[in-house]
Structure 1
Amino acid sequence: MEIAPDTKISAVLKENPAAMEAIVSINRHFEKLRNPVLRKILASRVTIGEAARIGGCQVEDFYEKLAPLGFEVKGQATPSGKVAEAQDSTFPEYLQNLPSSAFHYLDVREDLANGNDPFLLIMKAVEQLTDKNTLVLVNTFEPTPLLQILHKRGYDSYTEVKGPDLVYSYFWRKGEVVTALPSQPATQDFEQLLAQYAGSLKKLDVREMEMPLPMVTILNELEWLPTGHALHVTHRRVPQFLLPRLEDRGFQVAIQEAKPEEVYLLIFKPASS
């Protein structure tokens, strides 16, 4: 199989499953591929070039590890050893022109390590932005759901991978912004819905999963949820990042906060959707 910077990781793994260990050996950042759920979700969306950028390595590192498995490089490798999508990694001109005092840093790594959801903290910081400053979110991974939410609200962003577990995400206003938080689907009578889907219910407990695995797992389960069925999720908290993504996909959710660090979500798609 010929490979190039735009080759999807999923295509490489499908061609030769042994490629997973070869890729993992490049950088410990790729250990996530060992998780079957993350592998299924991420590998189909990420190319070799994008993976190199995320992992802070070079496309040639992939070529070197995959060559013994029979993979051949399509065309010429980038002479400089840089990722083909170098333009994406160029620090935006807007940020280059800002003084250092205009960068406001918010480090959420400790919150994530302690199992706390920093969503509201991040949103509060974002809403304090003007057209003359930017928020630098310090995280351990690229917060794709957050990027999508804020883009819809009128913010631009740029992600810079500093290391395997250190990612800077920059957010700034690009014009008029929507100030309201992402809407939360209306909470319906939980017990009534639970009885309605009693015979068509799949249960999922994500309380012991590390972020962002709970949301990834839930969205993956919903992709395969049969029509007329519902997904019953036991979570540690109301997942603020997840709610707008459910709404975008046409799902509704009933929420029951049973006790501290135990929240039930009943996720379903109405028959008329």
Structure 2
Amino acid sequence: MRIVDLDVRDMLRAKQEPFERIMETVSGLEPGDVFQLHATFRPDPLIRVLGRQGYRSTVVQEGEEHFIVQFYREETERPFFHLDNRGLEPPEPMMRTLNFLEQHPECQAGELGLEIWNERVPAFLLPELEERGYRYEIEQEESGTVRVRIYRTQ
């Protein structure tokens, strides 16, 4: 389980076509991987193409010309954006998670969930989430990764 990152913003600004590179990256994905694409616009045609191939997607706008789109195959009732916090020292995983939730109104509105990947159960984060009105589900993988799905009910 990993996030495979591809930034095509420079290609798009140079008027190059990134579709072949995107599809090459998608073809190398393993089950459980999340493909994370950085683009200068919301790539709705690509979202439709990969949607027909069974991929769900979430889109977050980070700046005027910076859209992050994540594609994944997991079936969930709501879309989830994924943050890989593995390898980070405390309190960075907690701060990244809370900052993401604060900066994205779609999470606050319950339209988008957040799934974090940690190396252990984030004991100090859980009461903070509850205090802010978020619910969560914890799943411990055999690999040692702890997946925490964070969401608000609408």
Could you say which TM-score interval applies, normalised by the shorter chain? Answer: 0.3 to 0.5
Structure with higher Rg: it is 1
Bigger strand share: 2
Q: Which has the higher contact order (CA 8 A, sep 6+)?
A: 2
Could you tell me the TM-score, scaled by structure 1's length? 0.27
